[in-house]
């Protein structure tokens, strides 16, 4: 399973139209269709019913959508974080607080 397949499936689920989903993803309609078929083959079931010009998600398609949304969001976040680290725009900040100091004092000073 590849990230672009998940991206294409999510776009198709939003639009329920191969042409509009392909336009959103900047790919040809046949390329999007092939990616969806490969994803269906890998999952072992139909994700989308194609009936002429009508397209709708199957039970499997509706079931995997929230999982794919979470996975896609996590992976794209990881890509963005990796880009920031490579560019030196990400610094990890660790703060240790001793129990004898009121956390409000520290938090107030950080907001300044």
Tell which wins on pLDDT, 4 or 85. 4
Judge whether residue 95 has pLDDT over 80: no
pTM of the model: 0.74
Tens of pLDDT, residue by residue over 41-50, are 999 999 999 8
Reduce the DSSP state of residue 56 to 3 states and report it.
Answer: strand
Q: Quick one: 43 exposed, middle or buried, by C-beta within 10 A (0-12, 13-18, 19+)?
A: middle
- Distance, in Å, from the CA atom of 105 to the CA atom of 107, rounded to the nearest integer, reads 6
Judge whether residue 100 has pLDDT over 80: no
Give the pLDDT of residue 74: 92
Give the pLDDT of residue 99: 61
Judge whether residue 28 has pLDDT over 70: yes
Judge whether residue 109 has pLDDT over 80: no
Give the pLDDT of residue 43: 96
Judge whether residue 86 has pLDDT over 90: no
Count Cβ atoms below 10 Å from residue 87 Cβ, excluding itself. 8
Give the pLDDT of residue 84: 87
């Amino acid at each position: 399973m590849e990230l672009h397949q998940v991206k294409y499936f999510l776009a198709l689920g939003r639009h329920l139209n191969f042409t509009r989903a392909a336009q959103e993803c900047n790919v040809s309609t046949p390329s999007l269709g092939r990616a969806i078929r490969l994803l269906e083959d890998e999952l072992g079931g139909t994700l989308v019913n194609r009936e002429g010009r009508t397209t709708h998600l199957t039970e499997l398609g509706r079931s995997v959508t929230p999982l794919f949304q979470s996975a896609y969001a996590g992976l794209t976040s990881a890509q963005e974080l990796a880009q920031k680290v490579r560019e030196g725009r990400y610094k990890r900040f660790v703060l240790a607080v001793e129990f004898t100091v009121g956390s409000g004092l520290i938090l107030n000073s950080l907001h300044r």
